[in-house]
């Protein structure tokens, strides 16, 4: 899918309206329990999933949507938000303890997903989490999205699969799959 500025601006506005505190809390608690001190959300949009992290964390967000990043910077001034692309992340190797995506990979073309996985692995220091719409057999959801089987996509990387389960509907009502990986 080519980057459509109007689509993503509308998405950013809707994203603010559907803030899911339970998912934000889950992500923060998970990163803390794994003894991480830095976090990066790729495709962070307006930063809603990062807002509950304590300021003792190094908080980073990357997105292509400048409009969404302006909102993120206003709402979470302690974080470092950058305009960037999943296929060329502006971070050093193994520099971020906890790297995650939430509903991003479903929107990307196949070649970008493959490059993005490689980049997530490169910048992650300890853990990688994907929370994406899932299907065993990947298929088109609509003209903008495809379901992904993220656990299967990580098998060629030096990672250990920690978790591959459906998110509980109280945490993520969008029927997403939670994949957590430990970088080896």
Query: Domain spans of the chain?
Result: 5-183
pLDDT at 4: 67
What is the CATH T-level fold of the domain 5-183, as seen in this structure? Rossmann fold (3.40.50)
Q: What is the mean pLDDT of the chain?
A: 90
pLDDT of residue 125: 98
Instruction: Using a cut of 0.75, tell me whether the model's pTM lies above it.
Output: yes
Q: 33-70 burial, b for 16+ CB within 10 Å, e for fewer?
A: eeebebbbbbbbbbbbbbbebeeebbbbbbbebebbbe
Stretch among 28-32, 74-78, 139-143, 156-160 having the lowest mean pLDDT: 139-143
């Amino acid at each position: 899918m080519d980057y459509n500025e109007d689509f993503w601006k509308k998405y950013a506005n809707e994203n603010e309206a559907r803030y899911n505190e339970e998912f934000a809390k889950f992500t923060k608690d998970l990163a803390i329990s794994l003894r991480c001190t830095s976090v990066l959300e790729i495709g962070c949009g307006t930063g809603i999933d990062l807002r509950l992290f304590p300021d003792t964390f190094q908080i980073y967000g990357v997105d292509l949507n400048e409009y969404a990043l302006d909102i993120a910077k206003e709402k979470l001034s302690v974080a470092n938000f950058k305009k960037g692309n999943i296929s060329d992340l502006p971070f050093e190797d193994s520099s971020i303890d906890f790297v995650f995506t939430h509903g991003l990979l479903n929107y990307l073309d196949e070649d970008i997903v493959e490059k993005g996985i490689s980049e997530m692995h490169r910048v992650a220091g300890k853990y990688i989490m994907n929370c994406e719409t899932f299907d065993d057999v990947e298929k088109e959801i609509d003209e903008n999205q495809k379901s992904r089987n993220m656990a299967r996509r990580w098998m060629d990387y030096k990672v250990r699969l920690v978790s591959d389960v459906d998110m509980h509907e109280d945490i993520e009502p969008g029927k997403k799959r939670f994949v957590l990986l430990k970088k080896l």
